[in-house]
């Protein structure tokens, strides 16, 4: 009986749902009771709490807690129990849109970590980066929460604000990031023709229509004279596996292995390319630490089965398979059921995929977010001041020493920046000045995309 896999882009993590043939996974309540001695402690605890706890406790509270405890005991960030509300968020995440900040998260070491912000989302615009740790949401600590539980606090209606306390890197001070939630559309393919016939196509996730979007984009690029393609999978946290395998099949020769799935017994299921030969142009693929799960499947497939060069930074490293099961009451749980391997049998879990050509973005691309609500002025000394000085320097303004101290030279640089951008000249960094400074830096990062430049350079040598 064949295995059919779906990698869901969830609000918490990129997961894989697993079914066998056409059979649906259904919840089965085994007849345990007194027939199973190992459950005696569980039932004894339940009975004691129901009869002797100092106040009434709902049956559902105790049962949900018991299930949640079993799943948490696995110490696996990809296995999780979801209440009805959390399960609703899980299913909504694979729809055409949702309302929130637009970031992929996962639980790691009892902390909530950003896998990647979604392109064009409020979180990306606010400067959220892969590997950022969300310490709290609106003052509520996320320590020890599952990713799906954290999502219920992070998500909210369009137009509402949410305050995140973010930790970035060891030794850095936590920073407060205020984000206005918005509708997050699942538009996944962005195409652009660069000079010399080089097409740049970014795939931000693998949703229901990604393959169709990509085919449309490639046809458009072909009509515009495409000679080579840069497939950009940076910041892509994953999505539906059927989309990933179809996309990998566009570039991997027919019959070649795209990936393997291995269960607990060592039995492997192999997925092969169904390529019909539609894509012939030279190709390179960009990856980074935000490339995870399904995007790693595509990257590994084209690298090992089609000799396509990977450029950028080592990928995230998620190589496990999850199955999701719904209960009749609307709750849900998912657990790791298998692991996936690359065409050559490599397991990239917690290792990531190392690019053939390693290229980092400029140092200023990793500068921390500065809250527009915080005022930086003469005599201020903080990590935010140092970040602002680095931003000014990157934008072409001389703040003097980037030493975390806001002196007169820093003030002069800020005044010049404000004059050039038609802002109120105050010499302090706050509000519109902060927003404009971070926006200017973002534009510079896009213009000086060292990874993309290297990819174009490699392609130009191939298309001559």
Taking a C-beta distance cutoff of 8 angstroms, is the pair 42, 292 a contact?
no
Q: Could you give the C-alpha distances from 221 to 187, 209, 306, 458, in angstroms and in order?
A: 18, 18, 21, 19
* List 125, 200, 318, 334, catalytic entry: 318
* List 293, 295, 315, 331, catalytic entry: 293
Round to whole Å and give the CA distance between 27 and 379.
Answer: 63
Closest CA to 298 of 311, 289, 285: 285
Round to whole Å and give the CA distance between 458 and 464.
Answer: 11
Round to whole Å and give the CA distance between 260 and 301.
Answer: 10
Taking a C-beta distance cutoff of 8 angstroms, is the pair 353, 308 a contact?
no
Q: How many residues does the chain have?
A: 464
**What DSSP assignment string belongs to 104-133?**
EEEEETTEEEEEEEPTTSHHHHTT--TT-E
Round to whole Å and give the CA distance between 356 and 227.
Answer: 22
Buried b (16+ CB within 10 A) or exposed e, 356-368: eeebebeebbebb
The residues that bridge with 271 in the sheet, in sequence order, are 259
Round to whole Å and give the CA distance between 27 and 48.
Answer: 27
Q: What SS3 class is residue 20? A: strand
* List 304, 384, 389, 390, catalytic entry: 304
Instruction: For 355-384, give the secondary structure using H, E and C.
Output: CCEECCCCHHHHCCCCCCCCCECCCCECHH
293 is catalytic: yes
Round to whole Å and give the CA distance between 264 and 338.
Answer: 6
Taking a C-beta distance cutoff of 8 angstroms, is the pair 258, 245 a contact?
yes
Round to whole Å and give the CA distance between 243 and 231.
Answer: 15
Q: Could you give the C-alpha distances from 104 to 205, 325, 327, 356, 424, in angstroms and in order?
A: 10, 21, 25, 26, 37
Residues 6+ apart with CB under 8 A from 75: none
Q: Which residue has the tokens 């002025």?
A: 377
447 is catalytic: no
Round to whole Å and give the CA distance between 64 and 157.
Answer: 27
Mark out the alpha helices in 322-362 (DSSP H runs): none
User: Within 10 Å of residue 3's Cβ, how many Cβ atoms?
Assistant: 16
Q: What SS3 class is residue 34? A: helix
Instruction: Show which residues are catalytic.
Output: 293, 304, 318
């Amino acid at each position: 009986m064949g295995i059919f896999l779906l990698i869901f882009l969830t609000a918490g993590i990129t997961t894989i749902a697993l079914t066998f043939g056409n059979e649906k996974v259904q919840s089965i309540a085994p007849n345990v009771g007194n027939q199973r001695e190992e459950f005696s402690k569980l039932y004894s605890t339940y009975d004691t709490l129901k009869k002797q706890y100092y106040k009434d406790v709902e049956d559902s509270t105790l049962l949900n807690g018991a299930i949640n405890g079993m799943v948490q005991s696995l110490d696996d960030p990809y296995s999780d129990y979801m209440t009805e509300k959390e399960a609703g968020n899980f299913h909504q995440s694979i729809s055409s849109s949702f309302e929130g900040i637009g970031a992929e998260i996962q639980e790691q070491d009892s902390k909530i970590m950003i896998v990647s912000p979604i392109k064009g989302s409020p979180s990306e615009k606010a400067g959220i980066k892969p590997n950022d740790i969300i310490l709290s949401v609106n003052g509520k600590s996320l320590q020890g929460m599952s990713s799906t539980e954290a999502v219920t606090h992070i998500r909210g209606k369009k137009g509402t604000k949410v305050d995140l306390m973010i930790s970035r890197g060891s030794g850095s001070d936590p920073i407060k990031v205020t984000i206005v939630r918005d509708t997050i559309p699942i538009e996944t393919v962005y195409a652009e023709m660069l000079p010399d016939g080089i097409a740049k196509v970014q795939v931000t996730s693998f949703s229901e229509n990604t393959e169709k979007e990509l085919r449309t984009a490639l046809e458009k690029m072909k009509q515009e004279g495409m000679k080579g393609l840069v497939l950009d999978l940076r910041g892509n946290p994953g999505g539906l596996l059927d989309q990933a395998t179809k996309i990998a099949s566009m570039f991997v020769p027919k019959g070649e292995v795209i990936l393997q799935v291995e269960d607990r017994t060592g039995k492997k299921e192999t997925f092969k390319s169904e390529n019909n030969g539609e894509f012939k142009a030279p190709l390179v693929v960009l990856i980074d630490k935000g490339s995870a799960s399904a995007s790693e499947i595509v990257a590994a497939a084209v690298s090992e089965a089609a000799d396509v060069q990977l450029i950028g930074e080592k990928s995230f490293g998620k190589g496990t398979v999850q199955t999701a099961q719904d209960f009749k009451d609307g709750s849900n749980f998912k657990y790791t059921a298998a692991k996936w391997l690359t065409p050559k049998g490599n397991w990239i879990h917690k290792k990531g995929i190392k690019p053939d050509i390693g290229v980092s973005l400029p140092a200023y691309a990793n500068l921390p977010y500065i809250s527009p609500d915080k005022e930086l002025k003469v005599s201020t000394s903080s990590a935010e001041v140092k970040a602002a000085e680095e931003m000014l320097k990157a934008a072409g303004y001389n703040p003097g020493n980037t030493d975390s101290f806001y002196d007169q030279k820093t003030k002069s640089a800020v005044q010049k920046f404000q004059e050039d951008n038609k802002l109120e000249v105050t010499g302090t960094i706050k509000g519109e000045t902060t927003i404009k400074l971070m926006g200017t830096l973002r534009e510079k990062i896009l213009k000086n995309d060292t990874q993309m430049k290297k990819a174009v350079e490699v392609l130009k040598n191939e298309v001559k």
